[in-house]
Copies of this chain bind each other. A is one copy, B any other.
């Protein structure tokens, strides 16, 4: 039996493998990016599900269009304005099976083998895995604590004529937690608009801001139709429904719709209605406000604990929002090799190396603070600190 080049290149995502571990109750898991279970509004969902079936009846479980359930698309279009400052209509967007499907479809739409896709360094592991399926060259653009460095980007574009798209998470980045300030966004968009290269703006977290001022999305500054915005209900509502969306110019949406027809026909008719009816019957923004407060407290607690328990020489980011902080160990210490010792203490993180598509940078790991209650955050960071102290001989 012969497999394709794609099949031979597949490696398991370390995040997904780690998620399996996190189902063991004794593990204090800072891996994964799971919302806090206690805050998922499942009591409301009973009412929502019954209402869907009574009001829509069989339409709710029948086949639907590839573009998505129209009332949901209309609500998302309105939300694009109120939450993200973007003017668009239902026709400018398609509902996807989470943002992950958006990423894999965009790679198929824009990249031939060996074409270049630019990413932040480091970047979201799931995006790397999705892009790799089409065998592109993944070019890491140097970043600092304000995101992509414009001069570095300009230089890469001057030296490479096969750049076909750029993928970024300008708000509370995964894995670093970094947010691009306005000037940086403008500078990068000026460059990308000049070169007319599509920019994928992945925006799953921006409603979860704990400090500082809201910064305009790249899509809201898009004058040439080059920005493709990926949104998701996974971090602000229910991850298990697998409902995301993509906003882009009509030419791109048209191609994505046709691709999705071949890929999975459509996203769940019922799942789309669960998001749509919930927004009709309850106040999504109020729910977001609840989890925003909770996650903000956990972010602060985790950073305070790291300050308290981590040895000197270990640094970490203090994110203004989102779900992750990024820890840097002294050069030469490999977070993946350290993993068994950490797991021995029933603590889990995601080693940082895989977030760099071209390797290296083993001295980082990613911590999630949204999923664990305060006492487990403190206990977990304490245990982690002890492992690190032993490792650093402190």
- Nearest neighbor of A274 in chain B, beta-carbon distance: B270
Which residues of B sit under 8 angstroms from A60, Cβ to Cβ?
A: 42, 240
Which residues of B sit under 8 angstroms from A34, Cβ to Cβ?
A: 62-63
Considering the chains assembled together, what is the distance between the CA atoms of A148 and B257 in angstroms? 33
Considering the chains assembled together, what is the distance between the CA atoms of A271 and B16 in angstroms? 20
Evaluate contact between B57 and A53: CB separation under 8 angstroms. no
Evaluate contact between A265 and B38: CB separation under 8 angstroms. no
Interface assignment of A101: CB less than 8 Å from any CB of chain B: yes
Interface assignment of A339: CB less than 8 Å from any CB of chain B: no
Interface assignment of A196: CB less than 8 Å from any CB of chain B: yes
Evaluate contact between A20 and B62: CB separation under 8 angstroms. no
Interchain CB contact (< 8 A) of A65 among B10, B19, B100, B109: B19
Considering the chains assembled together, what is the distance between the CA atoms of A222 and B351 in angstroms? 42
Evaluate contact between B264 and A242: CB separation under 8 angstroms. yes
Interchain CB contact (< 8 A) of A270 among B126, B255, B264, B271: B271
* Closest-CB distance, A297 to chain B (whole angstroms): 20
Evaluate contact between B108 and A255: CB separation under 8 angstroms. no
* Closest-CB distance, A266 to chain B (whole angstroms): 7
- Nearest neighbor of A105 in chain B, beta-carbon distance: B263
* Closest-CB distance, A202 to chain B (whole angstroms): 14
Considering the chains assembled together, what is the distance between the CA atoms of A75 and B164 in angstroms? 45
Which residues of B sit under 8 angstroms from A66, Cβ to Cβ?
A: 16
Contact (A259, B61) CB under 8 Å given A50-B49, A53-B42: no
Interface assignment of A133: CB less than 8 Å from any CB of chain B: yes
Considering the chains assembled together, what is the distance between the CA atoms of A249 and B4 in angstroms? 16
